[in-house]
A and B are shown apart, each in its own frame.
Chain A
Amino acid sequence: MKKNSSVPLRTSPVFVALAVAIVVVVAALVSPLALSAQAKTNEPRALALIQDVENKLNVEGLDLTSVFTLIQKKQGETDRVLKLRVFRRDAASRFTILFQFPDSEKGKGYFRNGDDLYLYLPSTREFVYRNRKDDVGSTDVRTDLFGRLNLSSQYFMKLAGTEKVSKFDTQVVQLDAKTPDVSFPIQKWYLRSSDNLPVKVENFSASGTLLRTFFYIDYRQLAPGKYINTKLMAVNNLENNQRTLLSSDDISTAKIADYTFSQAFLEEQSR
């Protein structure tokens, strides 16, 4: 576009004042957005810590078979015990869970393939498509606990200081969900300073209410740099004295037949 340069530009003081005012107002409006945008990015150090956790707890090079015992404790109720056999192949983002105890739950099972989770109900011989965030047998333990961790793609991370959990010094990392397609939009991971393994995880609602706390009590090393959590306690922070204890036994890293990771396997096992 051609400019008319023959007319000298004179800047009125009113115009300057107006321009300054506009700049100030725009800056005031933009700065929270900028801050908010800043909050919605990863802090590199926090991201590195979480990626390290994923590397340690995701056993991609191995198949994993184990038996989990869940004991749910509720105030005023007798303890509820569930026993699950878990087949896990993190490399393919798959797992199969078979209910082994109590008899009323026997034959039930989950099969997860990527984001798709199916619950098999032997009574009706049907597979029900479930959200991957399903609670196992109405306990405080979610099915995604048995599969591959995928935190770095689902959350933004930032450091949230250091704290002592039990006898451990921990680095706290806060996770904020990128989308609301996760169970807990806010999480705090307490990572042991000595080996960067989580000892406590707090799950919050979108509005910031603490809903559940997981205590990772013990680990077992499966291979160099690869760990499995063998004892865990999930506390429901909304229900008085409701918690689920989870322990893992009969751990094996032997190769699992491909057929195990299929719906047909669950059907077969329920017969």
Chain B
Amino acid sequence: MPFYINLAFKNIFRQKRRSFTLGANFLFISLILTLLFSFSAGVKKNISENIITSAAGHLSIAGDTVVKGKTLPGITDSPSINQAVLSKWPDARIITRYYISSAVYYQGLSKRVSFTGIDSQSDLSYRDQLDIYDGSWQDFVDQENSILMPRDVAEYFEVKSGDEILVSTRSRYGAFNTANFQVKGVYDSANYFVQGITIAHFGFLQKLDLAEAGSASNVFVYFKDGKDFDAKRETLMPLLTAKDFKVTKPDSSGGGISVIAAASPQYKLVSADVNEKRLTIATVDEVLAILSQILATVNLLGVFIAAILLFIIAISIFINMRMSINDRIQEIGTLRAMGTEKSHVIKLFVMENVFLSLVFTLIGIAVAMVVIAIFSWAIVLPPKGVVSLVLNQGHLVFDPSLGSLLFIVAVVCGFTAFFSWFPARKGGSIGPAEALSRTF
């Protein structure tokens, strides 16, 4: 090992006050960056998991049907989709959902409520995400017209398990239909994507919507290996085309979310002789594309703040180095007189700063880990509304990765090395005679 590395390491705390002042900057910046990157990765992971377990599949399929030029919302002939998927991936898991948004009436009160119809025998993804505090999952399963209601809606209507509500909906064809639903459970959920929906039975919603057997709002496909969704979609599309579906991908990178969104779609007019079964297939990455863009922006903002901090640190490094070189000119002269090469003197000073930044960056990361641990285990926040997007079981979500930590260390140390180089070069350029003459 070159001598200057050893020496540089020993010199880190030679001028304690100066080292701690500069080190505090490294600590702060690494703390901020670690928290920011961990939080943004945690939010992405949390939302991805929540959305996958409640509102999207690895492949999410939505569609509509054009009959004699009239566009009817929803997929028809979903069994054909299941057949196509299973013919290629026999171990894939497929769930179908039915959505309606309807007016609910109860004892003089009314409100528009979103219903999600599930097959309670095969679609158990909601079961483990609900904290049913009034009623039970089994009560819901046992009765065809039963529903599980979120706390907010139940509190609005002041209903409890066993109460019956009237639902009036405009069916997919335009005709009004009504039905009585029995509340069989009131729940809380930490999953943001479950909080607002009233869960009903798939078949009952289908009938309420006057839809034919085989109709569905969404088909979600989950693959065992959980990867290569783009390639799998490419494989699936011709299989569905062979079953008379007209299959497309989402329009743009942000279009994926519309495949699972319950918002009212706007249809283009088509001529009366058109009859089509149309499907749009989005991968989970496309569904999460908007989220990724938002998080990338947040990260970019963090990096921008970090860049400002680094600039301030650059000035500190520069001033520190100039002062340090002036203070240690005698040492430079002695080293040079002993035959130390210019480049070694430069490296000595650069390495001193790099080691300093490394030590304090690691301390900063350690402090960030303590903060993350406190927020992840000790502090519990109520998982309500949008806040629940960043909460897992009431705890803020962080997902620090080794890659991001190494990136932070590399950036801070690299930056320090770069900005230490220039004043160090000036110090190294001083000849031994000049250095010693300045001292004596």
> Is A129 located at the chain interface by the 8 A CB criterion?
yes
Q: Does B138 contact A (CB under 8 A)?
A: no
Q: Across the two chains, which residue of chain B brings its CB closest to A241?
A: B108
B267 contacts A by Cβ under 8 Å = yes
Residues of the A chain whose Cβ atoms lie less than 8 Å from the Cβ of B231: none
Stretch of A8-16, A24-32, A202-210, A243-251 contacting B (4+ beta carbons < 8 Å): A202-210
Question: Cβ of A160 < 8 Å from any Cβ of B?
Answer: no
Tell me whether A129 and B269 are in contact (CB under 8 A): yes
Give, as a whole number of angstroms, the nearest-CB distance from B344 to chain A.
71
Is B178 at the interface (CB under 8 A from chain A)?
A: yes
Q: What is the distance, in angstroms, from A184's C-beta to the closest C-beta of chain B? A: 6
User: Is A163 on the interface with B (CB-CB < 8 A)?
Assistant: no
Contact mask B163-188 → A, CB, 8 Å, 1/0? 00010101101111111000000000
B residues in contact with A203, CB < 8 Å: 176
Please, how many angstroms separate the alpha-carbon atoms of A12 and B151 in the complex?
70
A155 to B175, CA, bound (A): 13
Return chain A residues, CB-CB under 8 Å to B173.
Answer: 179-181
Alpha-carbon separation in the docked complex, A228 to B22 (Å): 88
Shortest distance between the CB of B113 and any CB in chain A (Å)? 14
Contacts of A129 in B (CB 8 A): 266-267, 269
Closest chain A residue to B69 by CB distance? A115
Q: Evaluate whether A180 and B168 lie within 8 angstroms (CB atoms) in the complex, with A206-B176, A240-B108 already known.
A: no
Does A128 sit at the interface, judged by CB under 8 A? yes
- Which residue in B175, B179, B267 is a CB contact (below 8 Å) of A180? B175
Of chain B, the residue at the smallest CB distance from A179 is B173
- Tell me the minimal C-beta distance from B348 to chain A in angstroms: 68
Q: A128-B266, A238-B103 are in contact. Are A184 and B168 (CB under 8 A)?
A: no
Is B174's CB under 8 angstroms from A207's CB? no
Q: How far is the CA of A241 from the CA of B299 in the complex (A)?
A: 53
Q: Are A207 and B175 in contact (CB under 8 A)?
A: no
Task: Decide if B175 touches A181 in the complex (CB within 8 Å).
Answer: yes
Whether the pair B174, A181 counts as a contact (CB closer than 8 A) is: yes
Q: List A contacts of B267 (CB < 8 A).
A: 129
A177 CB-CB contact with B under 8 Å = yes
Q: A180-B210, A185-B176 are in contact. Are A211 and B168 (CB under 8 A)?
A: yes
Name the interface size band of chain B: 20 to 34
Which residues 29-50 in A have Cβ within 8 Å of B in the complex?
none
Q: Which residues of B contact A75 (CB under 8 A)?
A: 108
B177–A205 contact, CB under 8 A? yes
Most buried by A among B170, B173, B179: B173
- A182–B176 CA distance with the chains assembled, in angstroms: 8
B126 interface residue per 8 A CB criterion: no
Q: Which residues of B contact A180 (CB under 8 A)?
A: 171, 173-175, 210
Residue B177 contacts which of A179, A181, A206, A238 (CB distance < 8 angstroms)? A206
How many interface residues does A have (CB within 8 Å)? 23
**How many contacts between A and B, using CB within 8 angstroms?**
59
A210 to chain B, nearest CB (A): 9
Bitwise interface map of A from 171 to 182 toward B, beta carbon under 8 Å scored 1, else 0: 000000101111
A229 close to chain B: CB less than 8 A = no
Among residues of A, the one whose C-beta sits closest to the C-beta of B210 is A180
Contact of B105 among A182, A183, A185, A239 (CB under 8 A): A239
Contact with A along B297-322 (1 / 0, CB 8 A): 00000000000000000000000000
Contact with B along A99-125 (1 / 0, CB 8 A): 000000000000000001000000000
The docked-state distance in angstroms from the alpha carbon of A238 to that of B103 is 10
Chain A residues positioned under 8 Å from B176 (CB to CB): 183-185, 203, 205-206, 211
Complex Cα–Cα for A179 and B105 (A): 26
Q: A116 contacts which chain B residues (CB < 8 A)?
A: 269
Report A178-208 residues with CB < 8 Å from chain B CB: 179-185, 203, 205-207
Q: Smallest Cβ distance from B20 to chain A, in angstroms?
A: 60
Q: How far is the CA of A180 from the CA of B207 in the complex (A)?
A: 13
Question: Once the chains are docked, how many angstroms separate the CA of A240 from the CA of B109?
Answer: 8
Residues in B with CB closer than 8 Å to A240 are: 108
Q: Mark B247-290, 1 if CB is under 8 A from A, else 0.
A: 00000000000000000001101000000000000000000000
Known: A129-B269, A238-B168. A211 touches B174 (CB 8 A): no
Return chain B residues, CB-CB under 8 Å to A185: 175-177
Q: Which residue of A is nearest B107, CB measured?
A: A240
Bitwise, A79-116 to B at CB < 8 A (1) or not (0) is 00000000000000000000000000000000000001
Residue of A nearest to B208 (CB): A207
* Cβ proximity bits A233-260 to B, threshold 8 Å, 1 near / 0 not: 0000011100000000000000000000
In the complex, whether B439 has a CB less than 8 A from a CB of chain A is: no
Cβ contacts under 8 Å, B21 to chain A = none
In the bound assembly, the distance between CA atoms of A129 and B268 in angstroms comes to 8
Contact string against A for B residues 70-87, beta-carbon threshold 8 Å, 1 for contact and 0 otherwise: 100000000000000000
Answer whether A238 and B266 are a contact pair too, CB < 8 Å, given A180-B173, A180-B174, A206-B210. no
* Nearest-neighbor residue (CB-CB) of A240 within chain B: B108
Q: In whole Å, how far is A50's beta carbon from the nearest beta carbon of chain B?
A: 19
Asked whether any CB of chain B lies closer than 8 Å to the CB of A131, the reply is yes
Judge whether A238 and B105 touch: CB under 8 Å: yes
- Which of A182, A205, A240 has the most C-beta atoms of chain B within 10 angstroms of its own C-beta? A205
Residues of A contacting B143 in the complex (Cβ-Cβ under 8 angstroms) = none
Question: Is A182 within 8 A of B168, CB to CB?
Answer: no
Given contact pairs A209-B166, A238-B105, A240-B108, enumerate 16 new A-B contacts (beta carbons under 8 Å).
A116-B269, A128-B266, A133-B174, A177-B175, A179-B173, A180-B175, A180-B210, A181-B173, A185-B177, A205-B168, A205-B175, A211-B176, A211-B178, A238-B103, A238-B166, A239-B105
14 contacts between A and B (CB under 8 A): A75-B108, A129-B266, A179-B173, A180-B210, A181-B175, A184-B176, A185-B177, A206-B175, A206-B176, A207-B177, A207-B179, A211-B178, A238-B103, A238-B166
Report, nearest first, the 10 A-B pairs whose CB atoms are least far apart. Answer: A180-B173, A209-B178, A180-B175, A205-B178, A206-B177, A205-B176, A240-B108, A185-B175, A238-B105, A205-B177
A residues near B (Cβ < 8 Å) are 75, 116, 128-129, 131, 133, 177, 179-185, 203, 205-207, 209, 211, 238-240
